[in-house]
Chains A and B, each alone.
Chain A
């Protein structure tokens, strides 16, 4: 029998547990429903592990301070919901171009604006991808359960450290607030990735120079003996600004390709009853729970229906969806918005099969019955 602790906890609590498991030592943020418990539990727990918590004056400060913590060498996180996520966008871009590891949790709620503060939504899918200005890589992860929130938070930290970039954990109110029992793994059970640091005596240290066989430059913490410059301007390997279009091209290529060259490692998904499926429900986050239940009921009624669930939604599991589109008759995208991820599915499918959409943005979840009705329509 496993000696592991079994606990009943909320998604938001599992997020903090995952972050601590991954080595989070720094949290800065500003409270907002339905993400607030992440701040509260971080405030409670971080000092016990020698970590730091600070409640800043707003969300912009929250992410800026978390970036500062990461630059000083600590694994950092900030969490927010809809309006707060909008405020953080400029500095998400900063972390992307300056290549600073950071985890940003967005427990989505109904919008736009102050919207429906306590109601669930999945309305920030496109904001996660395109919210900040300019071109930059994005990793966004959508867990569906409390347990997955734990594991995916650990993974978000690992990816952030490995690829030196901000990683977005895009949960939703249902996942954040529901309670499920979860077994917390022992230390060492899940691999933890720490950013590569330069040798202390490296006299020729280049903060953005990538060594052979490595993906990103080695990152020194401020105060650890390597004096270097970090900026949100386009810069060269030294970290100092460069206006050259040639250098900008090289840098953008590096930023984008560190992700595009490693999509197989980054992209995760779940396939459910897909082998003989003719209709696929594509769903993510808490909506995928309704989708699973709908698929089970439709199967019981004799329909060849399965589910595809992106866990990593950015980068999008393009290869897998292309593959599906070649063999199924219908893809039904179910999500808590009026049509966001469906755009990506349509783009990827390129008309090879029919793409349908079922979406709600009124603060109600998409129910199994909603999905069953839609599938029966298109069958």
Chain B
């Protein structure tokens, strides 16, 4: 399916153009999500896309599915309600790094622990875009944000591994530069039964890039290209070639009992019984 067909079939054209800044990485990730859904051939009526609040969280408004734009940090809790109520629905959560791991951190670890069949895509731009570039839980130590004018002294979260440690059964990281890999990874995450999380590294040239002298959008994209290496490749590289590199790829992919199925076993056992 070419891009025009994709837009025709899966986007709400009357809602475009989007609000994102020129050079923002969020559009690339949204595109990958839709492409993955198109490749899976899912019925649009069965797809629910839920977001919290932030630049990233505006994505559902552009996508032609059942879409729900909730409160800051709470998307996973809303999504849990939708999924548990109607387990046949394919529920996808779109979240920013702040949305997912600061205000929504509690929901993130518990959704992971429950292993409920929801796919979360975290648009990680290492900053709070919508509120103007404050430091976020993924801003590296010593970098800058409008609320870290003297350098950030917090240690950052590794969101993909945080979710994995909390019980998510599929975790991966990919970047806005690696579009083909991103689409494949998102497809795998969508097909995975259980809680899956994809940390999609985005770029925010407007705030994060400017504050941290990362250059314009193309330079930030080049940085993604040069810095991220696939975990499988990294495993084979000698130590010195891994210095300064960051990992992407599939980190965890295991099968465990899924929450809504386990609940339905109880319902099946009890319904009809008085």
Residues of A that sit less than 8 Å from B by CB: 25-26, 28, 47-50, 52, 54, 56-58, 60-62, 64-74, 76, 90-91, 94, 221-225, 227-233, 240-241
Contact = CB atoms under 8 A, between A and B. Distances in A.
B80 interface: yes
Contacts of B68: 68, 71, 222, 229-231
A68 B65 contact: no
A230 B69 contact: yes
A240 B77 CA distance: 22
Contact of B84 (A65, A67, A225, A241): A65
Interface stretch (B42-50, B225-233, B249-257): B42-50
B150 interface: no
Nearest to B269: A47
Contacts of B15: 240
Interface stretch (B85-93, B125-133, B140-148, B174-182): B85-93
Given A57-B106, A67-B81, A68-B78, A94 B263 contact: no
B100 to A, nearest CB: 14
A229 B61 contact: yes
A224 B88 CA distance: 11
A65 B91 CA distance: 13
14 contacts: A28-B81, A48-B271, A52-B84, A52-B85, A56-B77, A61-B110, A68-B77, A68-B79, A68-B85, A69-B81, A72-B82, A72-B86, A224-B45, A231-B69
Given A71-B82, A222-B68, A223-B45, 12 more contacts: A47-B266, A48-B271, A61-B106, A64-B71, A68-B79, A68-B83, A70-B81, A94-B71, A223-B66, A227-B65, A229-B69, A231-B68
B188 interface: no
B82 A48 contact: no
Contacts of A73: 85-86
Nearest to A241: B61
B205 interface: no
Contacts of B274: 48
B110 A57 contact: yes
Contacts of B89: 72, 222-223
Contacts of A224: 45
A222 B271 contact: no
Contact of A232 (B44, B70, B81): B70
Given A94-B71, A222-B68, A227-B66, A65 B80 contact: yes
Q: Which 3 A-B pairs have the closest CB atoms?
A: A68-B81, A64-B77, A72-B85
Nearest to A52: B84
Nearest to A49: B271
Q: Interface range on chain B: under 10, 10 to 19, 20 to 34, or 35 or more?
A: 35 or more
A232 B66 contact: no
B99 interface: no
Contacts of B69: 229-233, 241
B80 A54 contact: yes
Nearest to B268: A47
Contacts of A65: 77-78, 80-81, 84
B81 A48 contact: no
Nearest to A28: B81
A60 B107 CA distance: 10
Interface in B104-130: 106-107, 110
B64 interface: yes
A233 to B, nearest CB: 7
Contact of B107 (A25, A28, A57, A231): A57
A64 B45 contact: no
A100 to B, nearest CB: 10
Contacts of A25: 85
Contacts of B74: 60-61, 64, 91
A227 B62 CA distance: 12
Contacts of B48: 222-223
A325 B89 CA distance: 56
Contacts of B71: 64, 90-91, 94, 232
